[in-house]
């Protein structure tokens, strides 16, 4: 609440990631809200069919730009597909 990085953030203590990061792979978050249990939800805009609503989890990777349901406006594929292990 005071702007400092919480000690239990998922990447605290790692040299390869900034400790402020909670999750990554988000494309274009447009809205965020907490549900009644305090869980964070984010709506993200994507190109041509790539909009998403995600329950944001600690340390999770939401895939952008490797995984996407959208396509470039030219029709070209984005990334490697719609799913990938991990």
Write out the two tokens for 66.
């490797």
Q: Which tens digit of pLDDT belongs to each residue from 51-61?
A: 999 999 999 99
- What pLDDT, on a 0 to 100 scale, did the predictor assign at position 24? 92
The answer to whether the CB of 52 falls within 8 A of the CB of 30 is no
**Average pLDDT of span 3-27:** 94
pTM to 2 decimal places: 0.78
Which pLDDT band, with edges at 50, 70 and 90, does 21 fall under?
Answer: very high
Q: Which tens digit of pLDDT belongs to each residue from 58-74?
A: 999 998 889 888 899 99
- What pLDDT, on a 0 to 100 scale, did the predictor assign at position 85? 84
């Amino acid at each position: 609440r005071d702007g400092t990085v919480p000690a239990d953030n998922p990447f605290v203590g790692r040299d390869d990631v900034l400790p402020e990061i909670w999750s990554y792979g988000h494309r274009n978050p447009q809205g965020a809200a907490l549900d009644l249990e305090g869980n964070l939800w984010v709506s993200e805009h994507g190109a041509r069919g790539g909009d998403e609503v995600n329950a944001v989890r600690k340390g999770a990777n939401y895939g952008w730009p490797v995984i996407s349901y959208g396509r470039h406006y030219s029709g070209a594929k984005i990334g490697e597909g719609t799913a990938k292990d991990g």
